[in-house]
Amino acid sequence: MAEFLENIDKSWTLFLDRDGVINRKIVGDYVQSWGAFQLIPGVLESMSVFAKQFGRVIVVTNQQGIGKKMMDEAALNAIHNEMKKEIQQAGGRLDAIYYCPDLETKPNNCRKPGIAMALQARKDFPEIEFSKSIMVGDSASDMLFGITAGMYTVFVGYQAPKNFTSDLRLDNLFELASLIK
């Protein structure tokens, strides 16, 4: 087990990717409506544990479906509002959701692996210390985001990308919640 998990208290922040971590990723497409949003089993129970253990729980997500005009920000906000409602009803919480609508090809974009969303979170919540933060994601760009910002990294999922590194590798969020409890 990663020793850093033993140090978690309310001074720590949990950063979560969305697609592939909280909800099922649609391969080759985007979650464009609440009807297409499917929570991964164990997520709601996990979010309840995280709410008790972490001072801040924050989602950081690339959403280039907006940049591709496949959906708009209102549709994304509707999805996020429903997601937050379900998490709250299960005893969890999300303190903030940051998303980047930029296309991958846009120069100086805010997408992960860049850390613009982490810097915005710290601006909004000055108590955030990246050295007391964990980034949970399912891609190499999520891990690089966490590493670049100086966070601990937890890779979740079954298909690890090649040439990536993380502090911990688990199958899903529920495993992380079980280790933290």
CB contact at 8 A, 177 and 49 = yes
CB contact at 8 A, 26 and 36 = yes
Tokens of 141: 């760009």
Out of 19, 102, 142, 167, which one is annotated catalytic?
19
CB contact at 8 A, 43 and 173 = yes
Tell me if residue 19 is catalytic.
yes
Q: Which residues contact 179 (CB under 8 A, 6 or more apart)?
A: 1, 5, 170
Angle formed at CA 30 by CA 113 and CA 171, multiple of 5 degrees:
65
- Which stretch of DSSP H or E encloses residue 177? helix 173-180
Tell me if residue 167 is catalytic.
no
Q: Catalytic residues, which ones?
A: 17, 19
